[in-house]
Amino acid sequence: MPYDPLSDDQREIRELIRDLAREKVAPRAHDIDASGEFPWDMVAVLRETDVFALCIPEEFGGTGTGTLMTLVAIEELSKVCATTSLLLAAQELGSLPIRLAGNRAQKQKYLPRMATGELLAAYALTESESGSDSAAMRSEARRDGDHYVINGSKRFITNANVAGIYIVFAKTDPTAGHRGISAFIVEADTPGFEVSRIEEKMGIKGSVTGELYFNDLRVPAENLLGEEGEGFKIAMRVLDHSRPGIAAQGLGLAQGATDYALEYAKTRETMGKPIAQHQLIAGMLADMETKCEAARGLLYKVGMMIDEHAPAADLTKVSAMAKLFCTDVAMEVTTDAVQILGGYGYIKEYPVERMMRDAKITQIYEGTNQIQRLVIAREMLREQRAFLLAGVA
């Protein structure tokens, strides 16, 4: 078995997730993709096995096993079904604003129900005119006595129409740019809340992605996360912690495609021998495996950094690096897996076609990989490296 930094207890949890993925999730992956229907049966499986609890602290009903174990679980589920892995990744994302910025009353009210999976969550930041540029958002929240009144819309929201709560970002001061954004907990049955559109997508077809509208939606002031104007800081802090979840999804897709391509290449024969023994195919498999292993090292590093409460300045860069590298590897490796299977790789009977389609979104959501490169470069420019050049003519 390859070396990994997990403890014996963590490896035991990983084996349980692997068994779950193999026995319960994998047999459903093709049908989930083919039907495009939200997999409530997979939600039930994750509830019954306490998988949702992995991302919640123990004092609020979770397992308290930390971020690294959540990433490992997402990776293992993604090896067989990216849609099912996104159930956990989206729960992680939706819980983070409350975990990082919520007061104790908010945590006690929502986190235990998120740990059991009774309450699914959604993160509503993106708008049709503001994806990478959050300051351009148009949704507004106006204080009215003991409530805020929210008007506006959000687009490309994962878990639209199935989530019980939404973390909604809106401008409490439309003139203040980033500093005017605030964050709110919005329950799905609040009057004035509407899911107006469900998107048809290239991949992760069983995940519901939709457009939200807020029409004079009244939210109790106690549902404000942090203080007014802290929404952008909360959003960026959340993304530093949540982007590794998408990195884990990308890595899982890449490793799952590598494993499938390897088994296929061992049994598919041409010119009198398995194609795995042909140098060009062997070289592709070697590159695929190496990329996965390198990606895993970066992913596990950021998971351990989060669990060890690394400084925010350090986390921002490594989180972006993990998201960038793991998801680029996902696209490269799944494409190579399709190539190794040849014509079979291009048809839906074989899973690598689905894996390739699913991999594409990992380079886009939770910050495009172009944005990750900008973040990494920005952090590099802030670092002091002049000492490395000492004595260089």
Reported as a single tens digit per residue, the pLDDT across 253-284 is: 999 999 999 999 999 988 999 999 999 999 99
Q: Rounded mean pLDDT of 186-204?
A: 96
In this predicted model, what pLDDT tens digit does every residue of 156-175 receive, in sequence order? 999 999 999 999 999 999 99
Model pTM score: 0.96
Alpha-helical regions (H) of 5-117: 8-20, 26-35, 40-48, 67-78, 82-101, 104-116
CA 82 – CA 91 distance, rounded (Å): 14
Contact 10, 71 (CB under 8 A): no
Domain spanning 121-229: CATH superfamily? Butyryl-CoA Dehydrogenase, subunit A, domain 2 (2.40.110.10)
Domain(s) labelled CATH 2.40.110.10 in the chain stretch across: 121-229
The answer to whether residues 181 and 335 touch, using CB atoms and an 8 Å cutoff, is no
- Provide the pLDDT confidence category of residue 230 given band limits of 50, 70 and 90: very high
Q: How far apart are CA 374 and CA 377, in angstroms?
A: 5
Q: Could you tell me what percent of the chain has a pLDDT over 70?
A: 97
Return the active site residues.
Answer: 366
Pick from 319, 272, 276: nearest CA to 299: 319
Q: Is 151 helix (H, G, I), strand (E, B) or coil?
A: strand
Q: What is the pLDDT, as a whole number, of residue 388?
A: 63
User: Residue 309 has which token pair?
Assistant: 């409460």
| Region 329-354 average pLDDT | 97
- Share the mean pLDDT of the chain: 95
Q: Residue 310, exposed/middle/buried by CB under 10 A (0-12, 13-18, 19+)?
A: middle
Q: How many CB atoms lie within 10 A of CB 390?
A: 6
Delimiting residues of CATH 1.20.140.10 domain(s) in the chain: 232-384
pLDDT of residue 269: 82
Q: What is the pLDDT of residue 387?
A: 67
Looking at residue 129, what is its pLDDT? Answer: 83
Average pLDDT over residues 73-91: 98
Answer for the pair 265, 340: CB distance below 8 angstroms, yes or no: yes
From-to residues of CATH 1.10.540.10 in the chain = 8-116
pLDDT in tens, 33-64: 999 999 999 999 999 999 999 999 999 999 99
CATH of 8-116, one of 1.10.10.350, 1.10.150.120, 1.10.540.10, 1.10.3720.10: 1.10.540.10
- What is the rounded average pLDDT of the residues 99-118? 98
**232-384: CATH, from 3.40.50.10860, 3.60.150.10, 3.40.50.2020, 1.20.140.10:** 1.20.140.10
Burial class (CB in 10 A: 0-12, 13-18, 19+), 322: buried
Confidence of residue 4 (pLDDT cuts 50, 70, 90): confident
